[in-house]
Amino acid sequence: MAAEVALELNASLIVPLPKPIEEYRSDFHSQASLVKFEHLLAQASSILQIWEYNNDPTTNESVVDESTKPYADLGIFLSSHCHVLLAIWNGKFTNEIGGTSQVVYFHHEDHMPGYTEQSLASLQRLADDESDLVYHIVCSRNRSAGEPESSLKPLEWYWYTKDVENSRSKELPIQHKKIFARGAEFNRDITKYSLRIYTEMYSLIVPEEKSKLSDGVESIDRLFGVADWLAIYYKKLSLRTLFITHTAAFFMGLMFLLYSDFSVNNVFMLFFLIFFGAAIATDRFTKKRGWTRKYLDYRTLAEGLRVQFYWASAGISNEGKWRFAHDSFLQTQDPEFGWIRHVMRVAGTNYDASPKSSTSGLDYAIREWVGNGSTGQLGYYKKVASERIKRERLTKLADRISLSISGISVLIFLLFGTSLSDNQTSALFLLMGTTLLLYAIREGYSNATAVKELIKQYEFMLRIFDNAHRRLKETDDNFERKKILIALGQSALEEHADWILMHHERSLDQSEIWRMGN
């Protein structure tokens, strides 16, 4: 039924199979149902053979019946990669491994009792979790005691979450509304700029070496390219806004200096208000369009997808069979960031269904991701850290010159103040005020763009990639190399989570513009 409705809505039908197709066909008890299955299968956009990946130390497979295990795996895979879990269910919890109630429980708690290790769920149970959304349609079961749980009636429906105060609701919870709104916004941006994105975006796949990588990494790479392009686009808009507002703040201050030092003509104060109005209008326009927020979100998404891509290329499945790169990224941060994990769930679906591990893929990840002093992320961070440090030194030199000019102006007043004409005095005051104003505006711009913190971040990223490069050179053991890449990826994800929080807390408001201008 779900597949038929999806196709009516022109949705793509993705079919994860819990076992080889011939074995799966034997589970149908009538020819009519088998014919319907074949008809739907023929319309699928992709078929995922999750049964191929069935060796996992984190599941307690020894106590699970062989006929049940594939459906437990299927339920866990669906839960781990969906945005909403559709449960047509009587609402009763049972101990049947892989049953509907167990899959719903896994969706809420990241744990299937009797099958998966409970320790995997600890982080998600303690944090707000955007992946707990179940759309529950109440039904009876054609078996003994199959009627719905006593408080439920057949054909009722609810949004069912872990909310302790209101677990079942007719209204989509606010947290999830925000997450879906962000995801829809991302989709609209992709549609709006699709022509430019797909002609200009950067790919992590080297065309000549594409054959060395698993087919499943292409969707991760494609979404990385999209997020990366959008992040760069909105970064340019955000920096343009900051330049306009800080330039306007400078001219506000200049108008004030001209008014106080050269004339009492109110035209200077009029221009003061005009520049202030321009800065406020620009700031409000930017915030209404969400340019800065989009830049931060899309850059964070792109960096998360970068780690996900290279882990997949290296054949790394984070913490076991049902633990993926998206599970803990930004998990303890603002719940609205859940939309980023939603996108990563989609990106990794094909690879996660049947991950491949090869020495060539591992070598590719090490060479292209880690790199050396001039390539990969190591080469990138070495270059940008050096450039940022040099730029900051030049800025500090300009600051010292600015403060020196102000100091010299004060000294001139002390030594020659009585012999200066009114025009000379005003000019000197203007020079001193302007240099101090430039210093203040530059400091404000530096604070808004978190220049010092960004240098620290680049230096930190340089250190972790340098350490990974050094340790990788010391070993030929592929297991150890993967462990190093896992540690590197986790450190990078944690740093990107800190980065987005730091920048989200920096917001230029009207009072800040007024303060700089004065």
pLDDT band at 517 (very low <50, low <70, confident <90, very high): low
**What is the three-state SS of 276-330?**
HHHHHHHHHHHHHHCHHHHHHHHHHHHHHHHHHHHHHHCCCCCCCCCCCCCCCCC
Q: Which pLDDT value is given to residue 373?
A: 81
Q: What is the pLDDT of residues 489-498, one digit of tens each?
A: 988 888 887 7
Q: Which pLDDT value is given to residue 398?
A: 77
DSSP state of 247: H
DSSP 413-464: HHHHGGG--HHHHHHHHHHHHHHHHHHHHHHHHHHHTTHHHHHHHHHHHHHH
Most confident of the ranges 101-105, 351-355, 401-405, 499-503: 101-105
Q: Is 57 exposed, middle or buried (0-12, 13-18, 19+ CB in 10 A)?
A: exposed
Q: Which pLDDT value is given to residue 65?
A: 65
Q: Which pLDDT value is given to residue 331?
A: 58
Q: What is the mean pLDDT of residues 319-339?
A: 62
Q: Which pLDDT value is given to residue 163?
A: 83
| CA dist., res. 274 & res. 380, Å (int) | 42
Residue closest to 332 by CA, chosen among 505, 185, 130, 162: 130
Q: Which pLDDT value is given to residue 130?
A: 65
- Residue 297 phi, psi (nearest 5): -65, -45
Q: What is the pLDDT of residues 42-98, one digit of tens each?
A: 999 999 988 765 444 444 555 556 778 888 989 988 998 889 999 999 999 988 888
Residue closest to 59 by CA, chosen among 137, 122, 117, 121: 117
* Beta carbons of 207 and 341 less than 8 angstroms apart: no
Mean pLDDT (the chain) is 83
Q: Which pLDDT value is given to residue 441?
A: 78
Domain ranges (residues) in the chain: 1-52, 207-317+355-517
Answer whether residue 328 shows pLDDT above 70. Answer: no
pLDDT band at 102 (very low <50, low <70, confident <90, very high): very high
Percent of the chain with pLDDT over 70: 87
C-alpha distances in Å from residue 200, one per residue of 218, 230, 297, 423: 17, 11, 20, 56
Q: Which residue has the higher pLDDT, 446 or 65?
A: 446
Q: Which pLDDT value is given to residue 121?
A: 44
Decide the pairing of beta strands 168-169 and 157-160.
Answer: antiparallel
Q: Which pLDDT value is given to residue 120?
A: 46
Q: Which residue has the higher pLDDT, 481 or 287?
A: 481
CA 194 to chain centre: 20
pLDDT band at 518 (very low <50, low <70, confident <90, very high): low
- Residue 138 phi, psi (nearest 5): -75, 135
